[in-house]
Structure 1
Amino acid sequence: MLSMQRIDIWCEKWGDWCNPILVKETRQALKSRQFVITFSLLLVAALSWTIIGTVSLMPAIYDTPSAPRMLLGYYFVLALPMLLVVPLAAYRSLEGEIDDGTLELLSVTALSPKQIVLGKLASAMLQMLLYFVVLFPCVSYAYTLRGVDFPTTVVLLGMLVIAGIMMTIVALFFAPLSRSRTGRVTMLLVVIMLLVGAEWLLGLAAFELIFGDGDWQRDMGLSQISVLLGGVLLVVPAVAHLFLTLAAAQLTPMIENRSTKIRVALLVVNATVAAWIALGFEDSFAFVQQMFLGGVGLMFLWVLASSMFVSESAVLTPRVQRTLPQSFLGRATLTWLAPGPATGLVFSVLNILLLLGMLVGAFVSIAIRGFVFSSSDVREMETLLQFSCAVAAYMTCFLVLVYGVMKALRRNNNPRVEVGFAALVVVAVFSALGPYGIQLYLNDFLEFPYSHWQATNWVWTLYNIADGVDCSGVIKTLGTIGVVGVLGVMFMNRALVRPRRTATPERVRQELGKNRDMAESK
C-alpha cells in the first residue's frame, strides 16, 4: 500500500513537471462522455467485425488467405476515432478554452502558449494510444490469417498514426484562427471537411496497400524507399513543428514576439525539404520529380507566409526590443528574424533567392555528375529553371507592392496580418487582368499576341514559359525592378530594417530573476 502511494506521488510530480495541461486534459478527456462513448463503440465495432468477418469467411478461412478483408475492416474501425474523433475533440478543447475565457487565466501562469498547445496534442496522442492498444490484438489476429505481409501491416499502421497526429496538429492550428462566432463556425466546417477528406484519401491508400499483394515492395527500389522514409522522418516533423508554432503564435499576446519563431520554423522546413531532395540525387528522374514537388510545396508556403510577413506592424513593443540582437554579427545576421514588415520583406526575398539558388545548384550538380539526358529532358529542365526564375521575380515585385499597400492601410487602421494575403491576391489579379483588359480594349476586343506590354501579366508569361517561349528579357526586367524596390525599402526605412535593442530595466531584471529562482526551486 505504501509503495502504491509512492508511485502515485511520483507520477503526480512527474506529470506536473512534464506538462500540467497534459494532466488536466487527460483527466477531463478520460472522464468525458465523448471518450466513454467512442471507446465503447470501438470495442463493440471491433468485436462485431471479428465475429461477422470470421463467420462470413467460413470455411475458406482455414485454407485460403483471409487477412486482407479482415485487416481492412479493422483499419476503418480504428481510422474513424483516430482521424476524425480525436482531432475534433482537440479542436473543441482549444476552442473551448478561448470561448470560456480560461485561456486568459492560463496566460497569467508560468505556462507558455507552446506548452498549452503541446499539452493538448499530448492528450490527443494519449487517446490515440488507447484506441490503438485496443485494436492491436485484432490486427494481430488478422495478420495470422495470411495474405498480408508484415511490412505492409507496419506501413499501414504507421501511416494511420502519422496521419492522425498530423490532422490533430492541423485542427489545433485552426482552433484559434478566428475569434468571432461566424468565423468559428466556418473554421469548424473547414476542419470537418479536411478530416473527412483525409479519411477518404487514406482509406483509398489503405485499400490499395492491403489488396496490392505487396506490389509496392516490388515496384519500389531501395533508393525510392529511402526517399519515402526520408520524407516521413524529415519533412513531416518539420511541417508539424511549423503548424504547432503557428498555433502557439496565435495564443501569444500581441506585445510578445510572435514572428521570430515562425521564421525559424520556416527555415527548418526549407532545410528539411532540401535534405529530402538530396536523398534522391542518385536517381536523376526521381531527383527532378522531387525538385518539382518540393519546389511547388515551398512556393505555395512562401507565397502565404511572405504576404503575412510584409503585413506585420512596424511598431515594436519594449519587450520585443529587449530581445533583439545586440552584437554587430548578431545584428547583421539575425535582424531579419525580428518582427516587422521591412525585415519580413527582406527575409522573404532572401529565402526566395535562396530557393532559386538551390534549384540552380541542383542543375549544376546534375551536369557535373554527368547524367545522360535526352534533348527533350534538357529543354524541360531549362524551362523549369526559367519558370522558377519568373516566379521568383514576380513574387519579389508583388511583395514590394503588398508592403506599400499594407503601409498605407496601417496609417488609419490596424489590420490583421491575414489581410496581407488578401492584398497579395488583389495585386496578382490586377497585375494580370489590368494590362490584358487595356490592350484588349485598344485592340477592339480582338485577339492579340504576347508582347512586353503584358510583362506584368504573370499568368500569360508563365504560360508562355511552360509552352517553351523564351521570356528571359521580361524576367530580367522584373527581377531588376523587384531588387531595386527591396533596396529602396531598406534605404528608406533604416530604423525598421535595422531595429536597435533597448536595455532591460532594473525592475524587470529583478522580476525575471525571482521567477527564475522560483522555477529552479520547484
Structure 2
Amino acid sequence: MNEMLSIDPASVTPATNANRWERFDAWCERKGDQLNPILVKETRQALKSRQFVVTFSVLLFASLGWTVAGSLSQMPQIYTTPSAARLMIGYYVVLAIPMLLVVPLAAYRSLEGEIDDGTLELLSITALSPWQIVLGKLASASLQMMMYFVALFPCMAYAYTLRGVDLPTTLIIIATLLVAGLVLTVIALFLAPLAQSRTGRIATLLMLMMILLIAEYSIGFFVINLITYGNSLSASWVFFLSASTILLSLSVSHLLLTATAAQLTPESENRSTQLRISMMVLSMLLVGIAWYSANALEGSVGVFLITSLALAVLWTVFGSMLAAESPVMTPRIRRELPQSFFARVMLTWLTPGPATGLVFATVNIVVLTATMLFGLVLYASQMGNVRPLEIQAFIRISMLFVSYLVGALIAVRLVVAVVRINNHPRVEVGMAAMVTVLVMSALVPYSIGLHLNDYRGYSYSRWQIANWVWTLAEAGPNGSVRTFEVGMVLGCVSIAFIVCLLTMPRIVMPRRIATPEQVEAEQAKAAHPLKLAP
C-alpha cells in the first residue's frame, strides 16, 4: 500500500513548473488588461506592422555590417590604438535614423490615421479620456524606441571596449538620443490633429519632416563633434546643461501633450485651464534656469538673454491665442467654476475665455518681466562691470516691451471679436491677428511720417510713439526715448486695459451655476457603479 501511495518527486516537478508558468501568464494577462488600452492596441499593431519589421531588420543588418566593416577597416591598429570613435559614430547613425525619423513619423501617422478613419470619434464616446489616447500613442512609440535601443546596445558596448570614447560621453550620447526621440515624437503627436483640411495636413506633414531633418542634422553634428573632439566643458556646465535640457524637455513635452489632448477634447469641456497651468510651469522653469545660471555659473549672460527672449516669444504667441478664445462658456464649464470669493479671485483667470485670458497673460507678463529685471539688477550689482546707463536702458526697453505687448493683446482681442460676428475662428487666428497688429502698428506711423516729410529720411519724434520697433530701438543708452515717453506708453496701455475690463464684467468674472439634479445623479452613478452579482 505504501508503495502504491508513494509519488516520485521527479514526476511532480514538470507539472508544478507548468502551473507556475500558467499563474505567471495569468498575472501578466491581468496586468496587461489594466494598462492603457490604446497602448496595448498600438503596441500589437506596431510590432506586427511591416514598417516595424522592415526597420528592425534593417537596423540589425546595418549594425552587423558596420561592426564587421568598421572593425576590419581599422585592422591591425584596433588591437593597439583606441578605435571606438569611428564605430561609435556609425552606431549613432544607425540608431538615430529610426529613433529620430521613423518613430516620430509613425506616431504622427497613427494619430492622423485615427482622425482620417473616424475611429477617434468612436474612442471619444468610450470611457477613454483624450489624455489616455495621447499617452497611449506616446507609450507605444517609446516602446519601439526601447526595442531599437536594446537591439543596438551590445554594439555600443563593444565599441566602448575598444577605448577612445569615455563612459560619460557614451551616456551623453544615449541620453541625447532618448530625450530627442521622445521630444520629437511629442511634436509629431502635437502636429497630427492641428490641421483639419487635407491641404493643412500636407502642410503639417511637410513641417514635421523639416523639423525632423533639422533635428537629425543638428543632433548628429553635436554628437559627432562630441565623439571626435571630446567634452571641453566644466563639470558645472555639464550638470547645468544636462539638468536644464531634461527639465525643459519634460515641461515642453507636457505643454505640447496638453495642447494635443485639448485638440481632441470636445468644445463643450474646459480645454484651457491645463494649458495655462502648464505654461506657467514652463515660464517658472525658464526663470529658474536664468537665475541659477546668473548666480552659479561664470559667463552666463548669454543664457540669461536667451531665456528672456524665449519668455518673450512664448508669451507673445500664447497670449495671442488666449485673447482669441471663444467667449462662449458652456454650462458644463460654468458648473466647475470656483465658488468662494477667494477662489474666484485667484482661480477665475484659469477658466476659458478671451477676457480671463487677457488678464492671465497680462499678469504673467508683468510678473515675469519684473522678476527678470530684478535678477538682472542683482547680477549687475554683483559683477560691477555694467554701467548704470545700460541698466536704465534695459529697464526702459522691458517696460516698453510689456506695454506694447499688452496693448497688442488688447487689439488682438478686439480684432478677433469682430471676426467672430459672422465666423467661428480657431484660436490660431490670434497669432495671425497678432502679426497683423504688430506690423500695422509699426508700418502705419512710419508711413505717415514719411509722407509728411516728402518721403525723405527723418529723425525720431514723439509722433512715432505707436511705432514699437523704432521706439524700442531709441530706448537704448544712446537713444532719444527717456522716462517721459515710457510713461506715455505705459499710461495709455493701462487706461485701455482698465477700460477693457470695466466694459465686460460678466466675461471677466463669470459666475458659477448650480448643477442640475439629474446631472448629479448621473455623476454619482458613474462614480459608484453598481456591482452586478455573478
Which bin holds the TM-score, normalised by the shorter protein? over 0.9
Structure 2: which amino acid aligns with 1:457? N
Q: Choose which of 444, 463, 466 in structure 2 pairs with 1:434.
A: 444
Contact 1:397 1:482 in 2 (8 A): yes
| Larger CA Rg, structure 1 vs 2 | 2
Aligned: 1:313 with 2:326: yes
Structure 1's consecutive aligned runs of 4 or more residues displaced over 6 angstroms after TM superposition are none
Q: How many angstroms apart in 1 are the aligned matches of 2:35 and 2:284?
A: 29
CA contact (8 A) 1:397 1:478 kept: no
Describe the shift of the 1:495–1:298 C-alpha distance in structure 2 as closer, same or farther (beyond 3 A): same
Residues in 2 aligned to 1:486 and 1:75: alpha-carbon distance in whole angstroms: 54
CA contact (8 A) 2:294 2:304 kept: no
RMSD: 1.7
* Counterpart position of 1:22: 39
1:389 to 371, 374, 399: 399
Does the aligned pair in 2 maintain the 1:308–1:421 contact within 8 Å?
yes
How far, CA to CA, are the matches of 2:80 and 2:66 in structure 1? 20
CA distance in 2, matches of 1:464, 1:54: 62
Amino acid at match of 1:269: L
1:504 to 494, 515, 530: 515
Classify the secondary structure of the residue corresponding to 1:196: helix
**Distance in structure 2 (CA, Å) of the matches to 1:178 and 1:365:** 45
Amino acid in the other structure paired with 1:424? M
Q: Distance in 2 between matches of 1:11 and 1:391?
A: 58
Matched, 1:495 2:506: yes
Long gaps (5+) in structure 1: none
Deviation readout 1:465-515 (Å, 9 max, x if unpaired): 357425233332222222222211111111000001111111111111222
Q: Determine the structure 1 residue equivalent to 2:238.
A: 225
* Offset of residue 285 of structure 1: 5.1
Deviates more, 1:136-145 or 1:5-14: 5-14
Q: TM-score, normalised by structure 2?
A: 0.93
Number of residue pairs the alignment of both structures matches: 514
Deviations 1:340-369 (A, max 9, x none): 0100100010011011111122134336xx
Q: Give the CA deviation at 1:4.
A: 3.0
Measure the CA separation in 2 of the matches of 1:30 and 1:70.
Answer: 28
Structure 1 position 416 matched with structure 2 position 426: yes
Task: For structure 2, list consecutive stretches of 5 or more residues without a partner in the other structure.
Answer: 1-17
Provide closer, same or farther for how the CA distance between residues 520 and 76 of structure 1 changes in structure 2, counting only shifts above 3 A: farther
Q: Which residue of 1 aligns with 2:137?
A: 120
Match of 2:489 in 1: 478
Query: Does residue 175 of structure 2 align to residue 158 of structure 1?
Result: yes
Give 1:389 shift.
1.9
TM-score (norm 1): 0.95
Q: Deviations over 1:292-343 (max 9, x none)?
A: 1111111111111110111111110001101111111110000000000100
Give 1:375 shift.
4.4
Q: Do the aligned partners of 1:396 and 1:479 also contact (CA within 8 Å) in 2?
A: no
Distance 1:214 1:428 in 2: 43
CA contact (8 A) 1:94 1:172 kept: yes
Who is 1:54 aligned against? 71
Cα separation, 2, equivalents of 1:214 and 1:288: 22
Deviations 1:254-281 (A, max 9, x none): 1010011100100111121122223224
Residue 81 (str. 1) matches residue 98 (str. 2)? yes
Structure-2 residue corresponding to 1:188: 205
2:10 counterpart residue number: none
Partner Cα distance (1:519, 1:7) in 2:
31
Contact 1:277–1:291 under 8 Å retained in 2: yes
Question: 8 Å contact 1:230–1:276 — kept in the other structure?
Answer: no
Q: Residues 293 and 304 of structure 2 are in contact (CA less than 8 Å); yes or no, is this contact kept in structure 1?
A: no
Structure-2 separation of matches of 1:203 and 1:225: 19
Q: Which amino acid aligns with 2:277?
A: V
Give the share of equivalent positions with the same residue, in percent.
Answer: 48
Q: Deviations over 1:365-399 (max 9, x none)?
A: 336xx5132245x5444433332222111101101
